[in-house]
Structure 1
């Protein structure tokens, strides 16, 4: 069953739900999922309305390229920002990795088993460690080390590789390089990063050593969209687990890696299923 998804945001007002539903009904559409949220604070003058509405394309009275123009009067009436997505479009996804394998391997296994509805077009890494893993799954692997020419040259090679593979979504699967504003601007709200803490906490190297030294009782992981502000982008998913004084650094690391793989996979799936709306520094995840 192929569906269309409308992701909508606008100032809250009367009649929005009725107008959107009526538009779909007038064109013989069958709504299979609808969810909405009103942020009473918003980011500007007043409350903001958000909606995700999904309807079946089979039997719908408009062709795909006719839906957005036909919906435009409603969008203009309510001052909406509108994104139209289709469930049968498999987003071309690139995975960036460094040495740690857990997030990359987890995503590749989920993708190869059909759990993630995307096309993994390429894996790009600044270390060669994952070549065999990718070859076994038939995924192109590109090794782009940071050499004497510096990080700027390597990052441009990464961007060129992403463009060559028609990349739509970038996932930093524990990619231990900081992306420049140029790279971020090339994929706005389309670069997902996994951070090894329940943000904000324990920034930098050896986070589980820092956590152990502080005697924490809770560790976590955070998946967010990458922005120019390091590890401050809109959060998509988070999770925590309890730990104790009995947990050494190795145990904390294992527990943290389990969280990282799960949280990153959930965030990527939410994006692929068109369930995320970004506004300001926040997200609504339906």
Structure 2
């Protein structure tokens, strides 16, 4: 918590018009709130305006509930805003899902352990047992939840129970190699992130690095995106690429790709939990 009192992050999207920043900053100033950081973007294509404001309220300033109620009436309603007011000191609760490739899981756990990711990890879910010892070493509960076509509905029902019981804010598919049902995708809309082991929108589906090798690409990459019912089609949060050449094998591509996946997924999770990502239709606005 700030020495001046509580800290909040306000995120806004609304139709672009004159006076939005003035109205928001004036509202905060009138309530003795000090802006620490602010970022904005007006999208000429969609006609929408996006704003992220990190601010501190004085020790005797309004509470979260008081700020929210007043903001809705004074600013949000007149400007037709979609908005959220987040407690900047609260660590989001993240559930990680994984199958048999553990590099992203291991990387996220390490970054969590050293404090790079301001999160809590109440659970790891996997359809295999491979990483229960890794979870135990980090003192994170591990849930082995095998799935088949016949048991998919029951497995996802149990998964949703964990999400609700643990008050999960974000689900991270860290190379979880199962497709979530449309119903679960809808429930997790805007709060589930997948790492795709290729540079979308090219090379979707299975073995993308082998597809890239066959096409003779000179760049490979990874993509972190929100999960939707459309396979590998959710709004993209972060991407990265590395240069490759004719001397490399598909296995070289895979090894290099794993390193890229680690970095891209960690960035995407950090951006999300710091409330830096605002969804703009099929795209995202990311205030880095």
Mapped partners of 1:157, 1:258: distance in 2? 32
The answer to whether residue 65 in structure 2 is matched with residue 65 in structure 1 is yes
Partner in structure 2 of residue 34 of structure 1: 38
Contact 1:6–1:84 at 8 Å: present in 2 too? yes
CA shift, 1:157, in A, is 2.1
With the length of structure 2 as denominator, give the TM-score of the two structures: 0.95
CA shift, 1:282, in A, is 1.1
Contact 1:29–1:60 at 8 Å: present in 2 too? no
CA shift, 1:61, in A, is 2.2
Mapped partners of 2:257, 2:58: distance in 1? 44
CA shift, 1:26, in A, is 0.5
CA shift, 1:182, in A, is 1.4
CA shift, 1:204, in A, is 2.1
CA shift, 1:66, in A, is 0.7
Q: Deviations over 1:5-58 (max 9, x none)?
A: 11011111111111100111111111000110000010xxxx211100110134
Runs of at least 5 residues in structure 1 that lack an aligned partner in the other structure? none
Q: Deviations over 1:201-232 (max 9, x none)?
A: 22222222222122111111110100111111
Mapped partners of 1:195, 1:203: distance in 2? 8
Partner in structure 1 of residue 224 of structure 2: 223
The more displaced of 175-184 and 155-164 is: 155-164
Mapped partners of 1:71, 1:130: distance in 2? 46
Segments of 4+ moved more than 3 angstroms: none
CA shift, 1:93, in A, is 0.7
Mapped partners of 1:61, 1:93: distance in 2? 30
Contact 2:40–2:51 at 8 Å: present in 1 too? yes
The more displaced of 177-186 and 148-157 is: 148-157
Contact 1:28–1:60 at 8 Å: present in 2 too? no
SS at match of 1:66: helix
